Amino acid sequence: MEERALSDGTVWLTPPTEADIDTITECCQDPDIGAWVTIPVPYRRSDAESFLDNVVAPGWAGRSPTWALRLRADGPVVGMIGLDRLDESSNEIGFWVVPEHRRRGLVSRAIALVCEFGFSADGLALQRITWRAIVGNHASAAVARRNGFQYEGIARLGSLQRGVRHDNWVAGRLATDPPGPAGDWPEGV
């Protein structure tokens, strides 16, 4: 598929490039990103290079797009968001943002743009987008809930992160679901 930039005038989502390698490496030094995201720890420049070569480039070719989150079209990377293909009509969303830009609504804006692209006929034409996070990642759960993801439960030992299995919270959003906040999430998630 052809790479596509997305923007709402506040956030810009563009495919990360080689020019972003050092910034991605610096961003991924944040301990919270390492705690919740399946990245190598410690994160080195070679990991960012591998990410571009083995995830970003083939992802766009395989309907698994990844975007760098920026605050202007030519700005530095402040986060990452992507849709990993699960099957022909379903992808899984994943994202992170650096500490100084958390709690500002930027990830919610990025998720809205990515879901719109994912569900649209001229995007990926998906029927479902799955969200999952290691149990305890309340910030990720909050932003998923704000963007219309319906809580579906816990996948026991549902993810592997650096050799350790973790329980996951799981939620999904269907193409027919409204984009606004979802109700019926259990207290404490």
The number of C-alpha atoms within 13 Å of 21 and in the hemisphere containing its C-beta is 12
What token pair was written down for 33? 């990103």
Tell me what pLDDT residue 131 has. 98
Cα dihedral sign, 140-141-145-150: positive
**Is the distance from CB of 139 to CB of 96 less than 8 angstroms?**
no
Look at phi and psi of residue 24 and say left if phi exceeds 0, alpha if psi is from -120 to 50, else beta: alpha
CA distance 151 to 145: 8
Tell me what pLDDT residue 12 has. 98
Average pLDDT for 53-69: 95
pLDDT > 90? residue 173: yes
**Is the distance from CB of 126 to CB of 119 less than 8 angstroms?**
yes
Tell me what pLDDT residue 79 has. 97
- What is the average pLDDT value for the chain, to the nearest integer? 95
pLDDT > 90? residue 149: yes
CB-based contacts of 90, cutoff 8 Å, min separation 6: 126, 127, 128, 129, 130
Quickly count: other Cβ atoms within 10 Å of residue 32's Cβ.
Answer: 14
Quickly count: other Cβ atoms within 10 Å of residue 181's Cβ.
Answer: 12
Tell me what pLDDT residue 112 has. 97
- pLDDT (tens digit per residue) in 23-57: 999 999 999 999 999 999 999 999 999 999 999 99
Consecutive H or E run containing 87:
strand 79-87
pLDDT > 90? residue 179: no
Q: Which domains does the chain have, with CATH numbers?
A: 6-129 (3.40.630.30)
Q: Quick one: CA torsion of 76, 5, 60, 22, rounded to 10 degrees?
A: -10
pLDDT > 90? residue 187: no
